[in-house]
């Protein structure tokens, strides 16, 4: 009788904890939806470059990539929605894509039902300011992540036709996803193993489907490969590049949250030994970090590694993860800056270029205020889409 009563009390406690977690998650998601439908096209110039690409394309002037290699799937998708519906639907779809991707990735790597581990995984991801705020904007990250997550979901189910199709589309949204797709195909462990020949064949077909999206820019370059490039911030040397990588990565994972996360990994790493795809998860995280080391630009480059790292954390004690989530939310409202940076210019529309830094901890505006202030930067990119200044500022449809 005593044992039955104890089990009943534990069940009540677990249900109460789950209810609190679901309530916390619901507040985060509702906040995302509200911000999405009330925001304009944001403060990232890459968004406006993609809108220009679609504007030129729809006017019959050919294809001009928004940046370097181009991002055809996202350029067409985001441009189409902006022209016919406006920023509210673009932002909302990006956020929905993000949440959907989290669910599919979780189900691709974890056989458990939607339990406490699943709830805390969603909370960790949605509360992280990089994942949250950068997916409430019409950017290519959410599009590539969605198609990749659909691909890996079908790959787990051994539905290889749909898997390589969606892997290919994800590459069409962001070319760096080629590496993630190939690593996934090579190292994903199925319950029923598949042959190396099949994996090799799938890798070739995935590469071919993804490459088809870049045929227009390949033709425009005279069948050359000078377009396969990106601007790297190496004007201040490689030491600055490494420092930029370390600083941005640390802040992306959370200045205070990352030490706690590393402590949890070191102390409870043995809990991961039975995870079937631990090797794949580790390789995907490190490949993402290596890409970011090569070009430490937007923190959104780290989205996949952030999500997979948080997935690994869900195998550790709940109390540590709740603290991480609370630290994430705290960074929405206030940021602890260990360094004080000197910028070349503090004007709204000038490039953000650091020319000096010193160790002087201070408190700064949180990620939420930074996101809201970024809405004002739409005036900086009005010349990219001609005669649509009012629509760009208000977030209205551009047609």
Residue that wins the pLDDT comparison between 235 and 389: 389
| Interval 187-207: pLDDT, tens | 999 888 899 999 999 999 999
| Interval 243-286: pLDDT, tens | 888 888 988 998 888 888 888 888 888 888 778 899 999 999 99
Write 64-68 long-range contacts (CB < 8 A, 24+).
Answer: 65/217, 65/227, 67/230, 68/227, 68/229, 68/230, 68/231
User: pLDDT confidence of 289, banded at 50, 70, 90?
Assistant: very high
Average pLDDT over residues 198-221: 92
Residue that wins the pLDDT comparison between 304 and 217: 304
Residue that wins the pLDDT comparison between 108 and 10: 108
User: pLDDT confidence of 383, banded at 50, 70, 90?
Assistant: confident
| Interval 105-143: pLDDT, tens | 999 998 767 778 899 999 999 999 999 999 999 999 999
Give bridge partners of residue 339 from the DSSP assignment.
359
Domain definitions of the chain by residue range: 15-394
Question: Taking 90 as the threshold, does the pLDDT of residue 19 lie above it?
Answer: no
- pTM for the full model? 0.93
Question: Taking 80 as the threshold, does the pLDDT of residue 297 lie above it?
Answer: yes
pLDDT at 264: 85
Q: What 3-state DSSP class applies to 349?
A: coil
Which of 122, 124, 169 minimizes the C-alpha distance to 148?
Answer: 169
Q: How many Cα atoms sit within 13 Å of 285 on the Cβ side?
A: 15
pLDDT at 8: 56
Return phi, psi of residue 340, to 5°. -105, 120
Give dist(CA 307, CA 62) in Å, integer: 37
Question: Taking 70 as the threshold, does the pLDDT of residue 236 lie above it?
Answer: no
């Amino acid at each position: 009788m005593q044992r039955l009563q104890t089990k009943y009390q534990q069940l009540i406690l677990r249900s109460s904890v789950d209810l609190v977690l679901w309530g916390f998650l619901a507040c985060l998601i509702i906040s995302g939806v509200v911000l999405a439908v009330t925001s304009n096209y944001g403060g990232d110039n890459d968004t406006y470059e993609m809108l220009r690409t679609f504007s030129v394309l729809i006017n019959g002037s050919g294809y001009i990539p928004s940046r370097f290699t181009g991002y055809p799937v996202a350029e067409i998708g985001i441009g189409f929605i902006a022209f016919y519906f406006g920023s509210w639907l673009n932002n909302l779809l990006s956020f929905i894509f993000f949440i959907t991707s989290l669910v599919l990735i979780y189900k691709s790597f974890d056989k458990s039902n939607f339990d406490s581990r699943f709830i805390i995984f969603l909370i960790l991801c949605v509360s992280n300011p990089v994942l949250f705020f950068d997916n409430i904007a019409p950017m290519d990250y959410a599009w590539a992540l969605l198609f990749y997550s659909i691909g890996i979901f079908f790959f787990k189910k051994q539905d290889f036709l749909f898997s390589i199709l969606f892997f290919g589309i994800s590459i069409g949204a962001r070319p760096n996803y080629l590496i993630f797709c190939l690593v996934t195909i090579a190292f994903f462990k199925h319950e029923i193993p598949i042959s190396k020949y099949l994996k090799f064949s799938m890798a070739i077909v995935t590469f071919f489907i993804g490459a088809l999206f870049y045929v227009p820019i390949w033709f425009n370059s005279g069948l050359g490969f000078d377009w396969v490039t990106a601007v790297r911030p190496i004007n201040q040397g490689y030491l600055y590049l490494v420092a930029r990588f370390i600083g941005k990565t640390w802040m992306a994972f959370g200045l205070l949250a990352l030490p706690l996360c590393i402590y949890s990994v070191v102390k409870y790493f043995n809990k991961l030994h039975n995870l079937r795809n631990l090797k794949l998860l580790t390789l995907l995280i490190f490949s993402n970090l290596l890409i970011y080391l090569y070009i430490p630009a937007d923190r959104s480059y780290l989205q996949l590694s952030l999500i997979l790292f948080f997935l690994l954390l869900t195998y550790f004690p709940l109390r540590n993860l709740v603290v991480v989530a609370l630290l994430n939310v705290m960074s929405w409202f206030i940021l602890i800056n260990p360094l004080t940076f000197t910028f070349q210019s503090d004007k709204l529309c000038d490039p953000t270029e650091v020319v000096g830094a010193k160790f002087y901890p201070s408190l700064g505006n949180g990620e939420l205020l930074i996101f809201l202030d970024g809405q004002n930067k739409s005036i900086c990119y009005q010349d990219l889409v001609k005669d649509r200044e009012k629509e760009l500022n208000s977030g209205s449809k551009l047609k």
